[in-house]
Amino acid sequence: MKEYILALESSCDETACSIIKLDGTLLSNIVSSQIDTHTLYGGVMPEIASRLHIENINFVIKESLDKANIQLDEIAAIAITSGPGLIGALHVGLQAAKTLALTLNIPLIPVHHLVGHIYANSYVKENKYPCLAIVVSGGHTELVYMKKEFDFEIVGSTTDDAIGEAYDKVARILGLGYPGGPKIDKASKEGKDIYKLPYPHANGKYNVSYSGLKTYVNNFVHNTKAKGEDININDMACSFQHRAIEMIVDKAMDVIEDYDVKQVVVAGGVAANSYLRELISKRMEKYNDIELVLPPLWCCGDNAAMIAKAGLSLYKRNYFASLDLSAKPSWSLLDYKVNE
Q: Which residues bind Mg ion (CB under 5 A)?
A: 137, 302
Beta-carbon contacts of residue 117 (< 8 Å; ≥ 6 apart): 135, 137, 267, 268, 271, 295, 306
3-state secondary structure of 137: coil
Count of other CB atoms within 10 angstroms of residue 23: 7
Q: Of 183, 237, 236, which is closest to residue 42 (Cα–Cα)?
A: 183
> Would you count residue 85 as binding ligand AMP (CB under 6 A)?
no
For ligand AMP, which is the closer residue by CB, 65 or 217? 217
Distance, in Å, from the CA atom of 97 to the CA atom of 7, rounded to the nearest integer, reads: 8
- Parallel/antiparallel/unpaired status of strands 4-9 and 14-21: antiparallel
Q: Does residue 185 belong to the site contacting ligand AMP (CB under 6 A)?
A: yes
Shortest separation between residue 173's beta carbon and ligand AMP, angstroms: 14
**Residues composing the chain:** 340
Q: Tell me the CA end-to-end span of the chain in Å, nearest whole number.
A: 30
Could you say whether residue 164 binds ligand AMP (CB under 6 A)? yes
Q: How far is the CB of 310 from Mg ion (least distance, A)?
A: 13
Name the segment binding ligand AMP (CB under 6 A); options: 25-33, 96-104, 136-144, 213-221.
136-144
Among 12, 109, 176, 255, binds ligand AMP (CB under 6 A): 12
CB 97 within 8 A of CB 80: yes
Q: Please report whether residue 327 would count as binding ligand AMP according to CB under 6 A.
A: no
138 makes contact with ligand AMP (CB under 6 A)? yes
**Partner touching 85 among ligand AMP, Mg ion, none, CB below 5 to 8 Å by kind:** none
Q: How far is the CB of 93 from ligand AMP (least distance, A)?
A: 14
Sheet holding 153-157, edge to edge: 153-157, 141-146, 131-136, 263-267, 291-293
Best CA proximity match to 202, nearest among 237, 170, 250? 250
Q: Which stretch binds ligand AMP (CB under 6 A): 143-151, 212-220, 264-272, 310-318?
A: 264-272
Q: Which is nearer to Mg ion, 107 or 139 (CB)?
A: 139
Question: Should residue 272 be labelled a site residue for ligand AMP when binding is judged by CB under 6 A?
Answer: yes
Work out how close the CB of 275 gets to ligand AMP at its nearest, in angstroms, rounded to a whole number.
8
Summarize as ranges the residues that interact with ligand AMP (CB under 6 A).
12, 137-139, 164, 167-168, 179-182, 185, 268-270, 272-273, 301-302
